[in-house]
Amino acid sequence: MEYQSKFNELYEEMTSCVRGVVLKEEPLKNHTYFKIGGPASLFAEPEDTEDLKTVLKLIKKHGVDCFIIGNGTNLLVSDNGYKGAVVKIGEKFNYMERNDNVVTVGAGVLLSALAKYLARENLAGFEFASGIPGYLGGAVYMNAGAYGGEMKQVVKHVKCINLDGNVYEFTNEEMEFTYRHSKITDSDLIVLEAELELSYGNKDEIMEIIKELNEKRTTKQPLNIPSAGSTFKRPQNGYASKLIEDAGLKGLKYKGAMVSDKHSGFIVNWDNASCEDVLKLMRIVISTVNDKFGIILEPEIKIVGTKL
Ligand code: FAD
Per-residue pLDDT at 133 exceeds 70: yes
- Entry field: residues in the chain: 308
Ligand 1 in reach of 243 Cβ (< 6 A) = no
Cα dist from 277 to 31, 99, 250, 268, 308, whole Å: 19, 48, 16, 11, 11
Note the pLDDT of residue 5: 86
> What is the per-residue pLDDT for 172?
98
Task: Give residue 73 CA to ligand 1 midpoint distance, Å.
Answer: 5
Tell me the domain boundaries of the chain: 2-88, 92-220, 240-304
pTM summary value: 0.97
Q: Which CATH architecture has domain 2-88?
A: 2-Layer Sandwich (3.30)
Over range 162-172, report the average pLDDT: 97
End-to-end CA distance of the chain: 30
pLDDT in tens, 33-84: 999 999 999 999 999 999 999 999 999 999 999 999 999 999 999 999 999 9
Which CATH number is 92-220 given? 3.30.465.10
> In CATH terms, are 2-88 and 92-220 the same topology?
no
Please give the single-letter amino acid code of residue 186. Answer: D
Give tens-digit pLDDT for 243-262. 999 999 999 999 999 999 99
- In the set 41, 182, 227, 230, the catalytic residue is 230
Q: Whose CA is closest to 111, among 91, 96, 88, 130?
A: 130
The whole-angstrom separation of Cα 222 and Cα 259 is 11
| Ligand 1 contact via 137 beta carbon (within 6 Å) | yes
Query: Can you tell me the distance from the alpha carbon of 301 to that of 188, in angstroms, rounded to the nearest whole number?
Result: 18
C-alpha count within 13 angstroms, C-beta hemisphere, residue 33: 26
The number of CA neighbours under 13 Å toward the Cβ of 63 is: 4
DSSP 67-87: EEESS-TTEEE-TT-EEEEEE
Assess whether the C-beta atom of 141 lies below 6 angstroms from ligand 1. yes
Residue 262 DSSP class:
S
Candidate from 73, 262, 268 with most ligand 1 atoms within 8 A of CB, to mutate: 73
Give residue 1's pLDDT: 58
The proportion of the chain whose per-residue pLDDT surpasses 70, expressed as a percent, equals: 100
Q: What is the mean pLDDT of residues 83-110?
A: 97
Residue 36 and residue 30: Cα distance in Å, rounded?
8
Cα separation, 29 vs 221, whole angstroms: 22
Fold assignment, 240-304: 3.90.78
The closest residue, in CA terms, to atom 33 on ligand 1 is 229
CA 258 to chain centroid, in Å, comes to 21
Element (H, E) at 97: strand 96-99
Question: Can you tell me the mean pLDDT for 179-200?
Answer: 97
Tell me the Ramachandran region of residue 180: left when phi exceeds 0, alpha when psi lies from -120 to 50, beta otherwise.
Answer: left
300 is catalytic: yes
